[in-house]
Amino acid sequence: MFGGGLDGGLGGILPRAVDGLSQLAARLAGGTLRVGVTGLRRSGKTVFLTALLHNLLNAGRLPFLEVMAQGRFLASRLQPQPDAAVPRFDYERHLADLMGDPPRWPEATRAISEIRLALRFRTQGLIKYRLAGDSTLTLDLVDYPGEWLLDLPMLGQDFATWSAQTLDLATREPRAALARDWKAALSGVDPDAKADETLARHLAKLYTDYLQACRSGPIGLSLLQPGRFLEPGEMEGAPVLTFCPLPPPKSDWTGSLHGLMADRFEAYKDKVVRRFYREHFARLDRQVVLVDVLSALNAGAPGLDDLSRSLTATLESFRHGQAGWLSWLGGARIDRVLFAATKADHVAADQHGNLVSLLESFLADPLAGIRFTGAEVRSLALASVKATDTVLADWKGRQLACVQGTPLGRDAPAVIFPGEVPGSHLDLGPSGEGRFRFTDFRPPPGLGRDGRGLPNIRLDQVLQFLIGDRLA
């Protein structure tokens, strides 16, 4: 009887306990992480993902990723697409662009995509190794157009609120000049008039032209909604993309032009934005936010202000906070957020500290808000693919830290003094426009041919912060 009790009692409990401990060890080391690569247009999301994958697949140029430095990294392999309904990130094509002859930067992201990578490694510590043995961390990496990201704040607005905000922005320069044709057409429209499909499409076309002008203008404005008007993807031509902001009506009847636009605004939120958020963003575990600070600096204070507005508004839509043991009950929360000032190789190495300080200064409020939720936050300067070298040049007896690389539009390398990066957006003055002229560079020839991974600046530190704890 005693033997039977042991076999059915403790004998059954002990294997389950060991199995539970093994599962716990596997959770602490390995498991699956869903990482969202967030950033507005031209922030370098495609290049970042390509360089990250290439370096992890080749186990090279990542000296500060602890699992590599400690010799515990075993191997990595691309896995089948995790979601059959979402296109796969075209890693091979983007890598071929960078390693081509001549090399070129990959095309910008125009639709959502995902890719899965499995990392095999030895766990750290004798007890954990005996419980779990070698472990595998599965990374699901999500890429999407920056324009789509800007739709998330619309979820908390109705048509009247969004219209008032957007019309107000269009009264300020540099938007006011770009909105002239759309505003002129709008001035002759009665929001209370009977709904007219031809007029609705005409106004939506003029509004889309205005958004395109804002994006392609010298300042390259970021806060442009709805994002699908700029990157419609498979929804091009759909009625849900034919609305625009309107002044408030005098009455409220469903058959009016205002009523039609309001209905389409709500349909856009429901069928496009909410669905996109629910299927992709609500499941993120970690987040990297790529920010092209240098392009915003070239545009002066208006460019930085617009970038700050865009990022602040969109980050409020994410679920930040520590992911507890029972986080699966209420959906995942993002427990680590990394902010990276991209294209750090476009300035001399001694300016990277100022680049990070500038990023943190104009994002002070959202950074503080995320930290308050309990999520871990870090900022750094990053070059996903290093296109220049820092060199010293003599100018009138002074040693200047310069960058050497091949500027876009040229065929020969040049040594350029990019100037100094201000440590705060408050140092720009009232405008700052025309003060900075940071240069874009071509990718250098021969990238990745040594088999060590694409050369980069601080990609290993990015990975250590985002996934290092799951590779322990």
> Burial level of 330, CB count in 10 A (0-12/13-18/19+)?
exposed
Strand pairing partners for 395? 398
* pLDDT score recorded for residue 166: 96
What does the pLDDT read at residue 30?
66
Tokens found for residue 32: 């699956």
Question: Are the C-beta atoms of 48 and 290 separated by less than 8 Å?
Answer: yes
Residue in the structure block whose two tokens are 């709904």: 195
* Residue pLDDT, tens place only, 318-363: 777 765 433 433 445 888 999 999 999 999 999 999 999 999 998 8
pLDDT digits (tens, 9 = 90+) for 212-266: 999 887 778 888 999 999 888 778 889 999 999 999 999 888 899 999 999 999 9
Domains of the chain: 2-144+280-386+444-471 (3.40.50.300), 152-274 (no CATH), 390-428 (no CATH)
Half-sphere exposure at residue 388, Cβ-oriented, CA atoms within 13 angstroms: 31
Write the CA distances from 325 to 24, 332, 335, 469, 470, integer angstroms.
Answer: 11, 11, 12, 16, 15
Helix 301-315, helix 364-372: angle, nearest 10: 20
Of 154, 156, 140, 107, give the one whose Cα is nearest residue 279: 140
Does residue 363 contact residue 308 with C-beta atoms inside 8 Å?
yes
At residue 329, what is the residue type? L
**With contact defined as beta carbons under 8 Å apart, do 171 and 251 qualify?**
no
Per-residue pLDDT tens digits of the chain, which is 472 residues long? 334 443 444 444 444 444 444 444 444 556 999 999 988 878 999 999 999 999 999 988 999 999 999 999 999 999 998 888 899 999 999 999 999 999 999 988 778 899 999 999 999 865 555 555 789 999 999 988 878 888 988 998 999 999 999 999 999 988 999 999 999 999 999 999 999 999 999 999 999 999 999 988 777 888 899 999 988 877 888 999 999 999 999 988 889 999 999 999 999 999 999 988 888 877 889 999 999 999 888 888 888 888 888 888 888 777 777 654 334 334 458 889 999 999 999 999 999 999 999 999 988 888 888 888 888 999 999 999 999 999 999 888 888 999 999 999 999 999 999 989 999 888 776 555 557 889 999 999 999 888 899 999 999 999 999 999 999 8
Q: Any idea how long the chain is?
A: 472
Angle ∠(385,391,397) on CA atoms, nearest 5: 155
CA 264 vs. chain centroid, Å, equals: 27
pTM for the predicted model, two decimal places: 0.86
Instruction: Specify the residue for token string 């699966």.
Output: 328
Q: Taking the chain, what is the end-to-end CA distance rounded to the nearest angstrom?
A: 45
CA-wise closest residue to 389 among 441, 452, 451, 459: 441
Q: Please say whether the beta carbons of 471 and 133 come within 8 A.
A: no
Give the angle 342-309-385 at the CA atoms, nearest 5°. 10
Output the pLDDT for position 313. 82
Alpha carbon distance 51, 45 (integer Å):
10
> Going by C-beta distance under 8 Å and a sequence separation of 6 or more, which residues neighbour residue 409?
none
Secondary structure tally for the chain: helices H, strands E: 18, 10
- Half-sphere exposure in the Cβ direction for 414 (13 Å, CA): 15
pLDDT score recorded for residue 6: 37
